Structure 1
């Protein structure tokens, strides 16, 4: 067994993927690594190996509940749908999947556009420059997921703060993580109690009906599921909107091509999702339930495997010139939204929000640019995801 390398391999700098992943894909596609906490693990860096680990039932997420899972922070925060295997995972996922089908999500496009236009209206009213994160990227997905789930938007400052507990590595202390999660779960339990008395046409009311009338999930599962939807439903998109704008502004040739053909925006969103290494490291290990031959090694039963989606999305065997941003790239089968049973439930909603968000910014804020310079962007620290915490932009005033 090779000695594990410390992982992550280097500090996350902006949106740059560590070039060491390319070396591993070529020479050691399944390597041994050691995250700051938990046991050593295998790291899958190639696309095909990553898909196997994410989809093959010989690899289990539920096993992490009985193991010292490789992780970026102290304390084990397992539980809920992310730590389940079929059939329990399938049971819970089926309860909310209907709300996130492509057809149902597409019905949200007019309302999402209305929200985006309202946010840009306020940016224009206040005048250039503006912080893209606070003025647009955060409120857009937060408003959408609040309305879909049935959470009061006016409580956004509270659950925005608490949601950091789900993604913090060093930003919060272990005690703060526990405290914030407890507050989030308590908040959701209180909303569920109110909704039982006064049902609405929203996803939370549907979950309550599934719990109370059909006995398809426990009270704890319902609270965890609602909290997870609220956090996942805004945090990633709120991070990717400024990430995508940053990438476009630092690739002016690609931005110019996109502005000349905005009908290509859905394809551009797929390429940006592939290109941006959102996670600072691979997390959410899967445990082999039997010996598996993978990437030239034998993963023994009981050993954890981490999947680097960022590395897989730069695999030369799958993507031509993978380190080059190409917004016209065809056949872009990236795994930016995951793969297999745990494929991102809200992927279609995220796509819609990213498409609407980028189109609105590019069409209504002509000459969009950094207010200062690229070096003035403030980046998140101590989190599982990378992205700007502050991104000042300017545009041409009418």
Structure 2
């Protein structure tokens, strides 16, 4: 007699598994393992909204909404903004899906999503990929192929190069891709900083720095704004100050050893920047308990850089450059000829100078003529006239004997 248990198992064995319609199976490729993943398509409307589907990375739900839009054009739907976040589907996909992003981005772009759409912070998807995705190269390449700009700026002036240099690990492949697509390595943000500054904040990445300087021709002499933690004011500085701030020993060594970098740095680095860089390093050095730390080596490099610039006649730290303002001011005080003109300060020239000073209004104190000064000028004028008349009379007396002798000579000649 069969028991209840055996009859139950027999019933289960007679039940056939449900057949899967192969037309409703969607195959995608995992971006990490490169293995195919089969996802069942929705035969009915998904339980989640299209915005939630983008956040969850539900490709099947997104496909359902795109292919079942009877009253709305798919392109319009894909570029409609979420009423809660004001983000497009592309923004939601990029900012929430760290894994398997490429199939989602590709699907949206191929069906009409705008690659250059911006959110409320003026940020585009090509900016966000470097921030949210651990391997953004494929997604950035897709965005560039769909007319995303390699020089697009966000609300703070950051470009895709700024984001890649600051957040990618490693940044080299993305930087090379963006530069090959026309990205400008010398565009600066609201703080006047180029992607070089973000790269040094990211890490001690010498290979990426070497590429930007020697291959992409990045301007090492750009000076960005640095916030002084004591005065809370900004001061300008180059990437040398950035390297000192973040303790990038290898990058600082590369800058000092690079003739291309030094050719640009010598024209912009001044004593104030080097002194502040050394101050920052010494603050880190004082907090370090080790006898020999990287901060000691960085301080030695800064001192070496200072010594190099002081010996360079074209740098701002050279003794020749420090004497240039003095020489210029002394040459301005001389005449244009080879010899200076010596002038006699006569009474008339002194009086004229006094009158000129009285006529030109002074910026700080405006003097008015008083009866005393007027009397003084009149008295001096009378003295000058009297001196002129006296000198004229003396001159006539001196000339009279000579004229008498000349007349006598003429008479003698006539009598002869």
- The bucket for the TM-score relative to the shorter chain is under 0.3
Which is strand-richer, 1 or 2? 1
TM-score, length of structure 2 as denominator length: 0.18
